Amino acid sequence: MSYPQGPQQRPPTGNGGNRPGNGNNPFNKQGGNDNGQMPANRPFWQMPVLWLVVLGLLFAVALQLFSMGGPKTIDTKDGFDLLSKGEVTYAEITEDKQVVTLKLKDDFTKTNQSTGKTENMGKNVQFYYVFAQGGQVVQAIDKANPSAGFNSIVPQTSIWSSLLVSMLPLLIIMGVFWFFMSRMQGGSGGLFGMGGKKNSGKLLDGKTPKTKFADVAGEAAAVQEVEEIKDFLKDPSKYKALGARIPRGVLLYGPPGTGKTLLARAIAGEAAVPFYSMAGSDFVEMFVGLGASRVRDLFEEAKKTAPAIIFIDEIDAVGRRRGSGMGGGHDEREQTLNQLLVEMDGFDNDTNLIIIAATNRPDVLDPALLRPGRFDRQVGVEAPDLEGREAILKVHAKGKPFVPNVDLHMVAVRTPGFTGADLANVLNEAALLTARSDAQLIDNRAIDEAIDRVQAGPRRQSKGMALKELRNTAYHEGGHALVAAALHNTDPVTKVTILPRGRALGYTAVMPTEDRYSQSRNELLDQMAYAMGGRAAEEIVFHDPTTGASNDIEKATKIARKMVVEFGFSARLGSIKWADDDDQTTVMDGLQPRKYSDETARIIDDEVLDLVEKAHTEAWNIINENRLVLDELVRQLLVKETLNEKELKEVFKDLRMAPERTVWLSNSNRPDSDIPPVEIPESLKRDAGLQPGE
């Protein structure tokens, strides 16, 4: 059963309007939009698919007419009967098709045995025979002695017609292959998109965006970092007078949905320069050389309209470290990367061309991309803080009607770790829920439900959960909430519900009250303890745990392994990073040797197990000490189904807190210090909004 644990455990969703389509893909040779749709100004009668359908219909009609005009086919037995009865006036054998055509004195009628209906076949009929019946057919015709005679046709096929028939299937296959490959390559005129006349109409269509820095809310630090690029593009003289060189490339990195694309468009909009936007995957093609050619075309056209901005989204698709693929240094992606490096290195200070790239994986990029002279500056576009979230909410709240008591500041407080895309999704979901209920104003209930939907998924309306399973879920979620409330380094428990939502039967919300950028060892241990709280409650109450704790065990195990192999929180292994996060993923990763011995691997497993077991025991002891509080919490959950922060405080008023943990030393040989830490100055407390004495 899943439960939100703050920004580290909740994946962002959507794009919140931060990636608006601009239709400016410079390699969309068809002249359509970025979604691959056909252009609206192309006449429908020029579409190849339409002509294929028309030709198919004409062929079917012609085949039908041809079959209606010829002789009708009868059974072989009926054909021999007609010959034996002397009903035939003329007979003709076509030997290559093994068919006999008969002309009769009178119409031949046949009765269908299954339906009993009589069918008139006419005076011209035909029947087929197998090769072994050839002599019998000739004898039957000789005995019938047709009055109009008998003819045997042995058609002579020319060598050219035989060659055409044999080559026709191959020609058809090649034609279909050429048609589809030319369509896949954007219809540039040549086979596979090469050799034809280059249609560079879209390359010249680098439009100037209307986005401004005012539209980029919640990223003041990132905007400040890139503002001088706007000044350089608008007036480079003051920089050149001081001998300064503007960064040739800017790398925007950060989690998905934080507004990297929006920021790049805002730079171009503020500078009022053409903006060429494309994705890194647009360069990579099936055939070697096309990606590098596209890079050259893009830079040539951008230089013609300089000053300009080239924006490459998801550059990690083409900019991964060289030598990590199966093709060595000769695959298409590395050829494209080499060309990109050459083009970026060929600038001079008077080019006035800026390259902006965006990625959420800066750690996998090739070092040659990140050196000075290419991507000189790296700007982090992180999830917004409290003030930034409130600013983003105000931007997305424009045009939406709210009731007077909706406080966007409180919404920002309740959404730590949310990106701009998440916040846009929250307000959009609230508007959709309000419209679904036929209301005119968005209220706090709609916003509460929208936050829950973004965090844990939509509520499931199924009423089929058995009462026994509902009680089990209540104890499970109650165990999470109880352990979290009894620990000293956790965030407040803001909500507990047993209503199914997303893939979970219920969830417990433990939300931080302030933005955090690091976590202490005790905070991680607390997270593991209340993750195991649900499993411990099931074992204590029912002595028969369920599979509902699988997600909790997974989270606790991940935290424990990171503490051991990444954070250096193991006294046995010391402050060494055993994990290799150089994620150069290849299909051969499973064959790469570990960077540590088998003995170290065994110790790592022992330490992870020890941490999880200690967290499990800690949760077990807390629940045993507060069993009456847990039972009261479950009783209220079974009645109300959902408890908010105020109701939980009332339930936990008699809660016995867990004992403080002993001081942890990474090495017992190092002497401890009992000197208290430095007090925070009052000026910093005032800046943080704290009252005197807090």
DSSP state of 504: B
Distance CA(328)–CA(384), nearest Å, equals 40
Which residue type sits at 548? G
314, 362 in Cβ contact below 8 A?
A: no
Q: Is 255 annotated as a binding residue?
A: yes
String of DSSP letters for 223-242: HHHHHHHHHHHH-THHHHHT
Q: Which runs of E-coded beta strand occur in 116-193? A: 118-128, 150-153
> Pick the catalytic residue: 219, 332, 477, 538?
477
Q: Is 548 annotated as a binding residue?
A: no
Q: Is 261 annotated as a binding residue?
A: yes
Q: Is 552 annotated as a binding residue?
A: yes
Q: What is the dihedral of CA 289, 292, 293, 299, to 10 degrees?
A: 180
Tell me the two tokens of residue 191: 């086979």
Q: Which residue has the tokens 């074992």?
A: 539
Cβ-in-10-Å burial (0-12, 13-18, 19+) of 424 comes to buried
Q: Is 135 annotated as a binding residue?
A: no
Residues whose CB is less than 8 angstroms from the CB of residue 304 and which lie 6 or more positions away in sequence, other chains included: 204
Tell me the two tokens of residue 452: 């829950």
Q: Is 240 annotated as a binding residue?
A: no
Q: Is 546 annotated as a binding residue?
A: no
502, 458 in Cβ contact below 8 A?
A: yes
Residues whose CB is less than 8 angstroms from the CB of residue 125 and which lie 6 or more positions away in sequence, other chains included: 71, 72, 73, 74, 79, 82, 101, 102, 104, 108
Q: Is 257 annotated as a binding residue?
A: yes
Q: Which residue has the tokens 């040549």?
A: 190
- 477 in active site: yes
Distance CA(320)–CA(312), nearest Å, equals 14
Of 590, 568, 588, 592, the closest CA to residue 579 belongs to 568
Tell me the two tokens of residue 110: 């046949």
Beta-strand pair 118-128/99-111: antiparallel
Q: Is 476 annotated as a binding residue?
A: yes
Q: Is 29 annotated as a binding residue?
A: no
Q: Is 258 annotated as a binding residue?
A: yes
Question: Is residue 92 classed as helix, strand or coil in its secondary structure?
Answer: strand
Distance CA(316)–CA(482), nearest Å, equals 44
Distance CA(530)–CA(525), nearest Å, equals 9
- Binding-site sequence positions for ATP: 254-261
Q: Which amino acids are annotated catalytic?
A: 477
Instruction: List residues forming the annotated binding site for Zn(2+).
Output: 476, 480, 552
